[in-house]
Amino acid sequence: MTHLRQRMQEDLRLRNFSARTIRHYTHTVAEFAKHFHKSPDQLGPEHVRTFLLYLLNERKLTWGTIQGARSALKFFYTRTLKQTWFDQEIIKPKVRRKLPTVWSREEVCALLDATTNTKHRALLALYYSAGLRCQEGHSSAIQAGCESFEIYCPRHSAL
């Protein structure tokens, strides 16, 4: 193990990164060095830019993977090598937000009509109308009162 790799792993452990993140970051920096056949401390911003373009264009990796590689290289340069990051040369990519799929009225009616149990039908209708995700609906606590009820889930304090 090289001195730089050991130093980077120690820096990651000191910052309480998970074992999986440590493996991913060290693998990314090793792959970066292998791509240019040089030690990563001898490479600069143009090399980082070229490597990220290689991951995007030739290896066809997803934006999430490329963002992870960018984060690994930024950590290596700023924390392990104590250099400034190349903010002007290596800009952060725009995060694309995926919009949720909105069901048509017919699809919602078909789902509710397919449920024969009245309790399940009521819960499905409640969860869908409240905009809860599947896991939130599954793990929510329903407290029944006399004339009203309250649903608690982490995303919504009370519905």
Provide the residue ranges of all domains of the chain, joining segments of one domain with +: 3-80, 105-152
Q: How confident is the model over 46-71, as pLDDT tens digits? A: 999 999 999 999 999 998 899 999 99
Instruction: Indicate whether this model's pTM tops 0.75.
Output: no
Q: For the residues of 42-77, what is the DSSP string, one character each?
A: G--HHHHHHHHHIIIIIS---HHHHHHHHHHHHHII
CATH number for the domain formed by residue range(s) 3-80: 1.10.150.130
Closest listed residue to residue 73, CA positions, set 93, 101, 53, 45: 45
Is there a contact between 54 and 35 (Cβ–Cβ < 8 Å)?
yes
Distances in Å between the Cα of 91 and the Cα atoms of 94, 100, 127 are 9, 28, 40
pLDDT for the residue 25? 97
